[in-house]
Amino acid sequence: KDVGDYLIGEKIDINGDGSPLRYMDKPSKDGASLDNWKSGAGNVDVHYSSGIANHFFYLLSEGSGKKEINGVSYDSPTADGQPAAGIGRDKAEKIWFKALTSYFTTNTDYAGARKGTLSAASDLYGADSAEYKAVDRAWAAVNVK
């Protein structure tokens, strides 16, 4: 009964105010998560540094800027101020799953995740595809180059 959204843990009400535990469109809205990669991100608690991947997935799925999805308002910025176009959740999910099962290891960092998801997008849609270009752009939008 929980419609698809980009809020994590909104039903558990861990904060006691009805707010979600995490926000994928702008992870820093929780007060601690990182929106974008920066030097030292590896020293941030994994629950907060994972905001970078959450934000990447949101941008890859939905793109940047203001929008409403299933009754929830989002406004996702990019690290470089340039727009990012989404390819839809289904395609983003397929790319992420392919990367997880074919390219990621226990030591994969954000640079490796970029490389793995680009390889997955190439496998699934081609190296010249809109999907491949969207993966590249979404990583750039969270400052992973």
> Position of tokens 């994969």?
108
Residue 13: partners with Cβ closer than 8 Å, 6 or more residues away:
19
CA atoms within 13 A on the CB side of 129: 16
Q: pLDDT class for 22, splitting at 50, 70, 90?
A: very high
Please check whether residue 102 is in contact with residue 123, taking contact to mean a CB–CB distance below 8 angstroms: yes
pLDDT number for residue 15: 85
**Which residue, 127, 57, 65, is CA-closest to 92?**
57
29-75 confidence digits (pLDDT tens): 999 999 999 999 999 999 999 999 999 999 999 999 999 999 999 99
- Mean pLDDT, to the nearest integer, of 80-92? 97
Helix residue spans in 17-129 (DSSP H):
46-49, 51-62, 89-102, 110-125
> What is the distance between the alpha carbons of residues 61 and 56, in angstroms, rounded to a whole number?
9
pLDDT at 18 over 90: no
Indicate the pTM of the whole model.
Answer: 0.95
How far is CA 13 from its chain centroid?
Answer: 22
Task: Parse the chain into domains and list their residue ranges.
Answer: 7-141
pLDDT number for residue 68: 96
- Give the number of other CB atoms < 10 A from CB of residue 75: 11
Domain 7-141 adopts which CATH fold?
Neutral Protease; domain 2 (1.10.390)
> Position of tokens 């959450």?
54
**Which residue, 85, 75, 101, is CA-closest to 136?**
85
Which region among 3-17, 43-57, 110-124 has the lowest average model confidence (pLDDT)?
3-17
pLDDT at 2 over 90: no
pLDDT number for residue 10: 86
Q: pLDDT class for 7, splitting at 50, 70, 90?
A: very high
pLDDT number for residue 83: 98
